[in-house]
Each structure stands twice: as C-alpha cells, then as structure tokens.
Amino acid sequence: MTEFVAAAKASGAELRLRQLTKAFGAAKAVDQISLDVPPGAFVSLLGPSGSGKTTTLNLIAGFLAPDSGDILLDQRSIADVPPHKRNIGMVFQSYSLFPHMTVADNVGFPLRMRTRLSREQARRRIDEMLALVQLGHLGNRYPRQLSGGQQQRVAMARALVSHPRLLLMDEPLGALDKKLREQMQVEIKRIHRSVGTTVIYVTHDQTEALTMSDLVVVMHQARVAQVGTPRVLYEAPASLFVADFLGDSNLLAAKVTRADGDEIVVEIGSGETIRATRGTRAAPEGSRVVVLIRPEDMSVATTPERGDGHDALTGRVKDISYHGDTFKLDVAVGEEVLKVKVGREHGAGMERGRQVFLRWKSAAARVLPAAELSNDAVDGDGR
Amino acid sequence: MTALAQPPARLLVRGAAFSGSGLPTLLLLPCLIWISFFFLLPLGLMCWRSLASEGFSLETYSVLFTSPLYTKVMVTTVRTAAIATIFALLLAYPLAYALTISGGKLRGLILVFVLIPYWVDIIVRSFSWLILLGDNGMVNKALVGLGIVSAPLQLLYTPFSVLLAMVQILLPLTTVTLFGAMLRIDRTLMAAAKIHGANEWQAFRTVFFPLSLPGVYGAGLLVFVLALGFYVTPALLGSPRETMIAQTIMVEASQLLDWPQASAAGAVLLLITTSIAAVYNRYFSLDRLWGGPDR
C-alpha cells in the first residue's frame, strides 16, 4: 500500500457491481444490481429515499456485507475485504469529522492509519490537501469552529489525502443552503478533475446529479431503473419513472394509431392525434402508451400556426406563475392539464382563461411504455 | 386540570394566558415546599448546630482539622472511595461498551443483568458479601477444599472486603452512566475511521475512547461522591481500624451524642462533594475537552 500512496497522483479505479443483493429482513434494499463504472468517472446514484442508493454505497464501502453478488475494484473482488483495507475515501452526509481533533489531524488521519510517512512528509501532504480545498489557514481549528461549507471541504480533504482510487460521497451537500450547494458542486467537480479519482456520488437531488455527473444511475425500488449520461436520461428516458423523476414532464396516456418506423402517431385522451418518436421499446399499432413532452419543449401562441415537423394542441390557460427567468403555465387541453415553461417575453401577455395554441417539434414528443402507469412513478411526488 | 380535557389548541391558548400570571411558579411550589422542609431546612439546621452549640464558635471545626483521628478517617475515606471508583470504572467501561455496540435483544439482556443488582438493597448486597467472605463462607470453603490454602483466609473486616463490596455496589450505576454517555457518541465517526484505514482497535483507540472520556470523568465523579458517603458497607464488612467518615459521624451522633461535632463533619463532607462537582464543572466541561471555548 505504501508504494501506491507514494505515487504522485492516483488515477481512478474501475468499479464493477455484479448482481449485488442485500435484504434487511424480508425487504430487499438492493436487488440484483449490476453496474460498470469506468476508471475516473463521476457517477451519481440518483433516486428517491428508500430506492437503495445509500445501501449500495454502504456495500461498496464495506459497512454492509452483500447477501449475494460481488464487488470488483480493478477486477479484484473486495466483497470480503474489511472497510479499512479497501483504500476507499468517503465523505459522509453529516461530514463525520472527528470532533476531538484539529482540522489538520482530521485530514492526516488516513495517513496515520494507512501510511508510514514521516511527520514532515505527512504535514506536507496535509498542507497540500488543505490548499486543494482552499482551507490552508484553518489547520489548527477544531471542526465545530468551522461553518458547514468549511467542514464539507475538510471532509473532502480527509477522504482524498491518501490518494484513494475510489471516492464515495453520501449526499454530501444535503445540509448546505442552495447558494453554497451550487458553489460546492463546482468545487467538487474542480477537485475531481484535479485528482482523477473515480467518484460514486449518492444524491436525491436530480439537478445535482445532472450537472455534476458523467454517468447517472437512476435507482427505483432497490433496482437500477436506467444508467446513462445526463443528456440521455433527460432526453431519452427509458421508463415512465425516469421521465417523471428527472425534471418536469407532461405524461399523456395515448393509443398508437399508426406505427411507421421511428415515427408514431398516437391518439390522446381528447381524441386528437399527435406525432411522437419511438422510445427504446417497440410500440405496435393499437397498444397503450404514454407520451412524454417536456414543458420547455413547448411554445405558446395566441394564434394558430402549424408548421412543418411540428404538432399543436389548443387549450385554455388554467394557471400562470412567474419564476423570474421563466413563466410556468398550466394549460387545460380537454381533460388533461399540460405544464408549459416559456421565456419572459412569451409569458408576459398571458392571462388565466385565455385560449392558447401549444406547439412543439414532433421529434420532442417521446413514446414510453405504459406498463408502469399504475405505480407510484407518476404521482408527481417523486422529485 | 380541566384544561387537559380540552382540545390542544385551547390548551395552548390558556397556557399562554396563564404563563403571565406565574402558573409555572405555582406548579413548582409543591416541589419547592418539599425540598425546603425535608432537605434545605435540616441541612441548614445541621450547619447551624455545628457552629452554635454553646455560643458561636468554630471549635468543632478546629477539632476536625487538628485531631489525628479525623485526619486518619478522612484519608481512609478518600483513598477507599478513589480506589473503588477506579475499579468500578475499569470494570464498567467494557460492559458499557458492549452495551453500546450490541443491539436489540442482546443489549436488553445485558442491561437486565446490570440492573438486577442495582434494584437489590444495599444492605442485602453487603450482607451477601458477609456470607460469601466469612471464615466458613463459600470462598474460603472452596479455597480450603481445593487445597489452595490450608486455613481459611481473613477476607472479612479488611479493606479488601470493603472495596470488593463497594465496587460491586457501584458497578451498575457506573455502567449505566457510562452507557448513557457512550450512546451520545456519533457511531458514524467509527465508520469514518474505518473507511479511512483504521481497524477495529485503532478506531476505538483514536476515536471512540477519547470521545468517551468526558463520560468517564462524569461517571467517575458521580461514583466517587457516592463512595465518599458509604456507611452500611464499611460498617458491616470493614475493620474498626479503617473507618470511613460516615461511620464516624454515626458514632458521634448516636453513641457519643456529640451532635455539634457530627454536624461539623457532615458539613465538611458536604463541602468536599460540592467542591468536587464545582471543580469538575470548571475544568472538565465537555466543550473544553472538544476544543470548544479556546476560541
């Protein structure tokens, strides 16, 4: 281990989960999860509470033993290795800094446990880490004398000081206010770029996952719902749950009336037909599906204009709210209420009760399998 | 009382209205009266009696601090209490730690075994040691029967028997106090230590143990103060040459009928115990131990 630590900069480790399963009593917290994390990637585990993301993290850390399945770190199984020998760094939700040690001693802790560095070498390493997280001047303070954001940085420094090849982060920004959280997101990305460690980042905040990650693993009911880059997940969700969990969405129940290659025509509740793009699964004629249209993909006009490659619906403004940079409108179309997000100049002239024409690129509407419609995925509280 | 039968919202409103007219003070009154009559008043009378037997004098106190008898008794008392405290802590610490890291049924089981002796009266527990340690007691019979010693050992009426019984009597309280303190230590700190390279023992030594020290001091103080005032145990199991302060006070009060002298000794004991509490509060506050108030 000493040779490894002596290396100037640790690169990231490759992590593979193989059919990992963990149950508490009868309830499966993690059910047959398989995942490939490439070296150096920033991967988020995203999901509502109880979806199994923290259990997965604790299995990787070694705080829990899997019932079955395997964890491979650089092709080597670590399922039977105790936590202190896994050479993993971890940032805890509540930071878990040692209250009886100074900041420098907290950061130096992994060095004292894992390496035989001389006092002088260790101090240089600690100073380096504190400089990396921009806390160089606070080494002699105690954790309780620091602000939440500063404690967060100390926790990062402690987790990274022994150059682990894998860094686990358990909702590290949950306790910070919005402004500081956004600042720390940028900060964590900067540190990730400079150390190159593989990061597994647990969060229930979809914005955080989308903005920070190379790959996002959406978890739902102890399983992986979908793995993909943030753009793929947002623009091409594979299931209703993912579509609904990430961002705002309009999900319309529909019936396929014509399926021709990738372009599909569906009939929605009001009896009107619209065009949509096929998702990952086949949607044969006559099948029940759900059509996803993101609120920001639609525009609102007071006069009808049906252009090429566009679809449109007529509705009535039910509600309107101002969000500074945008307006959010609820537009009643038949029985359905569609959410629409428009820029300031388009929203300014709108008022409740007014008849409007919704318009969107046909390619922006996506067909999703309707199978899950019955479960909690679409109750809108998943966020 | 009638307010209790009404919906919470009304209760709140009425409570708020009453607080202005001193309801909380009224509620405290029975307790205050009780404490005044049965605790503060006798205590005051005791202190008064120690000073004013035949006119006002500090005679009794000068006896306390000059007579060789009292010096010897005080030394014995403090020494016995200190040793008992240390052994109680040493034995209780692993027990409390086991309670802290165990969960569910196992914890409940250990706790029951810790608490059962606690519910048995001090006199009963002291008497059982009398039976165990006597010349014909179980311990001596076993030792002689096994041929380890030829004649029964003098176990009773020695400092050893007193300490043994005192530690046993103090153990449950020490354990429960330490357990309470250990429960307050954030367990994820141990996880943090482990993931950052500490094995079980290192995590305990570098994180858990230092964080448990305020609890150890607190339990130690509590137990030491209790041990200073032990009466039944040294009276039943101890040697007459090694008496503790409470026994001496008892002799002064009930046999020599020298109430002023007994009062003075009582007042000094009270002063010592309160001073210990005050000193502890000043120097071993939790904040200071965790690097708080040096800011």
Nearest by CB to B290, which of A88, A90, A99?
A99
* Helix H or strand E encompassing A367: strand A366-369
Whether residue A100 and residue B186 make contact (CB cut-off 8 A), yes or no, is: no
In this prediction, what percent of chain B has a pLDDT beyond 70? 88
> Each residue of B47-64: pLDDT tens digit?
888 887 777 888 888 888
Nearest by CB to B195, which of A61, A98, A142?
A61
Place of tokens 């802590």: B89
Kindly give the pairing relationship between strand A310-322 and strand A215-220: unpaired
The domains found in chain B, sorted by start residue, are 61-289 (1.10.3720.10)
Nearest-angstrom CA–CA distance, A218 and B58: 81
Asked if A37 and A16 touch (Cβ cutoff 8 Å), the reply is yes
- In B, minimum Cα distance to A94 occurs at B188
Q: Which residue has the higher pLDDT, B289 or A27?
A: A27
Residue B36: CB partners within 8 Å, gap ≥ 6? none
* Helix H or strand E encompassing A338: strand A336-343
* Helix H or strand E encompassing A126: helix A119-132
**Residue A116 carries which DSSP code?**
-
Summarize the confidence of residues B98-117 as an average pLDDT.
90
Whether residue A92 and residue B191 make contact (CB cut-off 8 A), yes or no, is: yes
Whether residue A98 and residue B292 make contact (CB cut-off 8 A), yes or no, is: no
Whether residue A84 and residue B194 make contact (CB cut-off 8 A), yes or no, is: yes
Alpha-carbon gap: A150 to the closest alpha carbon of chain B (Å): 17
Give the 3-state DSSP-derived string for B228-282, with helices as H, strands as E and coil as C: HCCCHHHHHHCCHHHCCHHHHHHHHHHHCCCHHHHHHHHHHHHHHHHHHHHHHHH
Alpha-carbon gap: B200 to the closest alpha carbon of chain A (Å): 9
Task: Count how many pairs of residues, chain A against chain B, have C-beta atoms within 8 Å.
Answer: 82
Summarize the confidence of residues B76-94 as an average pLDDT.
96
- In B, minimum Cα distance to A164 occurs at B196
- Global pTM reads 0.81
Q: By a Cβ cutoff of 8 Å, what residues of chain A touch chain B?
A: 61-63, 82-84, 86-90, 92, 94, 96-100, 102, 109-110, 112-114, 142, 144-145, 158-159, 162, 168
Residues of chain A with CATH 2.40.50.100: 248-372
- In A, minimum Cα distance to B212 occurs at A100
Instruction: With a threshold of 0.85, tell me whether the complex ipTM lies above it.
Output: no
Q: What is chain A's Cα-based Rg?
A: 25
Whether residue B194 and residue A82 make contact (CB cut-off 8 A), yes or no, is: yes
**Residue A253: left (phi > 0), alpha (psi -120 to 50), or beta?**
beta
Task: Give the 3-state secondary structure of residue B146.
Answer: coil
Residue B20 has pLDDT above 60, yes or no: no
Nearest by CB to B199, which of A62, A84, A112?
A84
What pLDDT, on a 0 to 100 scale, did the predictor assign at position B295?
A: 30
The vertex-A124 CA angle with A123 and A127, nearest 5°, equals 85
Which residues from B are below 8 Å from A99, CB to CB? 189, 211, 290-291
Nearest by CB to A145, which of B189, B194, B295?
B295
Whether residue A82 and residue B199 make contact (CB cut-off 8 A), yes or no, is: yes
**What is the DSSP track for A24-55?**
ETTEEEEEEEEEEE-TT-EEEEE-STTSSHHH
Count CB atoms within 10 A of the CB of residue A119. Answer: 9
Summarize the confidence of residues B140-149 as an average pLDDT.
88
Q: What is chain B's Cα-based Rg?
A: 25
Nearest by CB to B191, which of A63, A86, A113?
A63
**pLDDT tens string for chain A (383 positions)?**
333 333 334 589 999 999 999 999 999 999 999 999 999 999 999 999 889 999 999 999 999 999 999 999 999 999 999 999 999 999 999 999 999 999 999 999 999 999 999 999 999 999 999 999 999 889 999 999 999 999 999 999 999 999 999 999 999 998 888 888 999 999 999 999 999 999 999 999 999 999 999 999 999 999 999 999 999 999 999 999 999 999 899 999 899 998 877 788 999 887 888 888 887 777 788 888 999 999 999 988 888 776 778 888 889 999 999 988 899 999 998 888 999 999 888 777 788 888 999 999 988 899 988 865 444 433 333 33
- In A, minimum Cα distance to B199 occurs at A84
What pLDDT, on a 0 to 100 scale, did the predictor assign at position B21?
A: 60
Residue B14 has pLDDT above 70, yes or no: no
Residues of chain A with CATH 3.40.50.300: 2-235
Residue B286 has pLDDT above 70, yes or no: no
What pLDDT, on a 0 to 100 scale, did the predictor assign at position A110?
A: 96
Which residues from A are below 8 Å from B285, CB to CB? none
Q: At A77, list the tokens.
A: 């199984």
Which residues from A are below 8 Å from B196, CB to CB? 84, 89-90, 109-110, 113-114, 158-159, 162
- In A, minimum Cα distance to B197 occurs at A84
Alpha-carbon gap: B24 to the closest alpha carbon of chain A (Å): 35
Whether residue A142 and residue B291 make contact (CB cut-off 8 A), yes or no, is: yes
What pLDDT, on a 0 to 100 scale, did the predictor assign at position B285?
A: 57
Residue B245: CB partners within 8 Å, gap ≥ 6? B73, B74, B77, B228, B229, B265, B269
Distances from the Cα of B157 to the Cαs of A31, B105, B130, in angstroms?
66, 40, 9
Asked if A359 and A301 touch (Cβ cutoff 8 Å), the reply is yes
What pLDDT, on a 0 to 100 scale, did the predictor assign at position B228?
A: 93
Residue B84: CB partners within 8 Å, gap ≥ 6? B163, B166, B167, B170, B223, B227
> Each residue of B240-279: pLDDT tens digit?
888 899 999 998 889 988 888 899 999 999 998 888 878 7
- In B, minimum Cα distance to A59 occurs at B195
Which residues face A55 on adjacent strands?
none
Q: What number does CATH give the domain A248-372?
A: 2.40.50.100
CA nearest neighbour of B257 among B246, B265, B249:
B249
Which residues from B are below 8 Å from A83, CB to CB? 191, 194-195
Query: Side chain identity at B7, as an amino acid letter?
Result: P
Residue A200: CB partners within 8 Å, gap ≥ 6? A15, A37, A43, A45, A57, A60, A166, A167, A168, A169
Which residues from A are below 8 Å from B295, CB to CB? 145
Count CB atoms within 10 A of the CB of residue A314. Answer: 14
Whether residue A113 and residue B188 make contact (CB cut-off 8 A), yes or no, is: no
Count CB atoms within 10 A of the CB of residue A268. Answer: 19
Q: At A66, list the tokens.
A: 């899997």
Asked if A223 and A31 touch (Cβ cutoff 8 Å), the reply is yes
Alpha-carbon gap: B194 to the closest alpha carbon of chain A (Å): 5
- At B104, the pLDDT band (50, 70, 90 cuts) reads confident
Nearest by CB to A110, which of B189, B197, B289?
B197
- In B, minimum Cα distance to A99 occurs at B290
Residues 190-229 of B with CB under 8 A from A: 191-199, 202-203, 206-207, 210-211
Whether residue A88 and residue B195 make contact (CB cut-off 8 A), yes or no, is: yes
Q: Assess if CATH 3.40.50.300 describes domain A2-235.
A: yes
Alpha-carbon gap: B282 to the closest alpha carbon of chain A (Å): 19
Q: At B91, list the tokens.
A: 């034995």
Whether residue B197 and residue A62 make contact (CB cut-off 8 A), yes or no, is: no
Nearest-angstrom CA–CA distance, A69 and B8: 53
